[in-house]
Chains A and B, each alone.
Chain A
Amino acid sequence: MKTSSPYPDSLEILLSELKRIPGLGPKGASRIALWLLSDPSRRSIPLSRALANAAEKITLCLECGFWAEATLCKICSDSTRNGSVLCVVEQPMDVLSIEKTGIFRGLYHVLGGRLSPLNQVGPEHLRISQLLKRVEQLKPQEVILALGADVESLATMSYLSSILKEKMIKVSKIAFGIPAGGGIEHADVLTLQNAFKGRSLL
């Protein structure tokens, strides 16, 4: 038998949407809902506007695959960035981690994942053909692979380096002081800076 909730229906709907956020349980969802609704004009209304606005405007940059509002992201449209070095990462979040270090001034390329045959992810599911097209256009002096350190990331790195080297491109990978199995989002600023400085040719 189903027990009916004491909450109004609209609150129930809000709670069930909040609970879908990764890492948020029922208690956390209730706490956030309470906070949002206790001062609607300053909390829930601006947030709902910001959400709707972002959902409408945010897309992936046509060039690099990072978050963008126009066809190009802020990094790709920045003329001071060095187009002769390309840094390949797995996820948009990784761009933020590297930007925080301030050590890299070139352009990025976001793959949108990594090769994972056991999860049915092949090269055609990643932005690899776009990478090759960009490499032909930009003719970069160096492509830096800044992927994670687990089995699938290593395989992706191996795959990319062999197809890029066929095109006579200089390929390097960042030095990992990061524990094997971790992605670069777990690395702190100093570790990432050292990883870039100590990168090695493939």
Chain B
Amino acid sequence: MGDKREGESFRVFCYGGAKRFEVRRLGIRSFRCYREGEFEFGAGLNLVVGRNGVGKTSLLEAVCMVLRLQSPRSAKPGPCVAWGERNFCLEGDFVEIGEGGWERGVRLAVENGEDGRRLWIDGDCVRDSDRYLSLGRVVWFSGEDRELVRGSGTMRRRYLDFLCSQLFPGYLKVLRDYERALRSRNYLLRMGARRAEVEAFDEPLAGLGKRLQECRQWVMPKVKERADEVVRWLTDGVENVEVNYLPSGGSELLKRLRENYEEDQLLRMTTLGPHRDDFAVLINGRSAGDYASEGQQRTLSLGLRFAQAAILIEVCKQSPILLMDDVIAELDGERTERVLRILLEGSQVIAATAREGILDMAGKMGWKVMRLKG
């Protein structure tokens, strides 16, 4: 490429003291299209190749599920259970690698479905998920990530929640409680309940909502800084990104809920609160959803995803596993090299694609290639 930044030691991830975290083996039972499966992964880049519908995304999803107990594709465990089965079961062997090269292995297992959820750490059944969830982290890249920039706020809230739930222990519980308070309040509004009954849920809603918004408020400036860094690197300094948090209801959520009651009653739903939060993505000062080209939007979404990884490394002192579904082979030529440079910085990558064209390069670069057949 021969540009002036070539050879510069730009690094997206500051590993200073951070541990690497990798999956070595994954056992799958009754999960999505898998009856029974056993997979082994290499330390650096892993490429999963196969035609569409063969189970590539489900394999990535299984890695995400066994570590985070949630799927980036569906909120409930039900759809993950293979057809005709009651529960799915996943078991992964992971390893944490410290700076001096020491390794510590941990085996995580989860069973979930109609009979409820059960968790194991190194063979011991654990009741509380907090310790389980503190062990490993992931970033999910998807071929549909452009929606982060041009789609609805739902995508961006999911982005924030997925990040915050990995940064703050307990975030997920607060989020579930908030959602329960919200469903209760909305139900009462729909049924035309008396004002006092509806407003009984204002305090729980505002209290839980404030805790969610404080977490999001804390993380947004970091997203902004890191996404901008990555996008500048990917575009050779041509583009710059701004990301601005837009909390719904502001700092006085309780007061605003009370003031907004008439409107909520009219619309029969709660119109303020973290469930309406969003963040604006600007490119060179203009709304990226409206003005950016398709290529720019893809670059921005990569910036947002790599920002997640960089923040997890910085805060948790541990590298996340990067799960990339239909992302690597789909890059255009110019960005491929720079994206790969980021990927080579040390995180384990599991990338899935249906495009065989990338196999040549994968071979040359010594990636571990896994072919999936139906």
Contact = CB atoms under 8 A, between A and B. Distances in A.
A126 B180 CA distance: 20
Nearest to A154: B204
Interface stretch (A18-26, A155-163, A192-200): A155-163
Contacts of B181: 151, 155
Contacts of B196: 159, 162-163
Interface stretch (A31-39, A90-98, A114-122, A132-140): A114-122
Given A115-B197, A163-B196, A154 B203 contact: yes
B200 A122 contact: no
Contacts of B200: 115, 155-156, 158-159, 162
B184 interface: yes
B177 A158 contact: no
Nearest to A160: B200
Main secondary structure of the interface of A (DSSP, over half): helix
Contacts of B199: 158, 162
B187 interface: yes
A142 interface: no
B288 interface: no
B254 to A, nearest CB: 10
Nearest to B178: A151
A83 interface: no
Given A158-B202, A158-B204, A151 B180 contact: yes
Contacts of A116: 184
A114 to B, nearest CB: 10
The residue in B188, B200, B208 that gathers the most chain A C-beta atoms within 10 A of its C-beta is B200
A152 B207 CA distance: 13
A123 B200 CA distance: 11
B274 to A, nearest CB: 15
A152 B184 CA distance: 9
Interface string B156-193: 00000000000000000100010011011001100101
A123 to B, nearest CB: 7
B300 to A, nearest CB: 37
How many residues of A sit at the interface, in one of the four size bands? Answer: 10 to 19
B197 A123 contact: yes
Contacts of B203: 154-155, 158
Interface string B193-223: 1001101111110011000000000000000
Interface residues of B, number: 20
Given A151-B204, A158-B203, A162-B199, A122 B177 contact: no
Interface string A88-112: 0000000000000000000000000
A118 B193 CA distance: 13
A177 interface: no
A162 B208 CA distance: 20
A116 B197 CA distance: 10
A12 interface: no
Contact of B184 (A118, A163, A181): A118
A150 interface: yes
Interface in A166-201: 180-181
B193 A155 contact: no
Contacts of A152: 184
A151 B184 contact: yes
A163 B180 CA distance: 23
A60 B156 CA distance: 52
Contacts of A117: 184, 187-188, 191, 193, 197
Contacts of B173: 181
A118 B204 contact: no
B211 to A, nearest CB: 10
A122 B173 CA distance: 25
B184 A155 contact: yes
A116 B180 CA distance: 10
B177 A155 contact: no
A118 B180 contact: yes
Interface of B: 173, 177, 180-181, 183-184, 187-188, 191, 193, 196-197, 199-204, 207-208
Please provide the 6 A-B residue pairs with the shortest distance between their CB atoms, ordered closest to farther: A159-B200, A154-B204, A155-B200, A158-B203, A117-B184, A117-B187
Given A116-B184, A118-B187, 17 more contacts: A115-B197, A117-B191, A117-B197, A118-B184, A122-B193, A151-B177, A151-B184, A151-B204, A151-B208, A154-B207, A155-B181, A155-B184, A155-B204, A158-B199, A159-B197, A159-B200, A162-B199
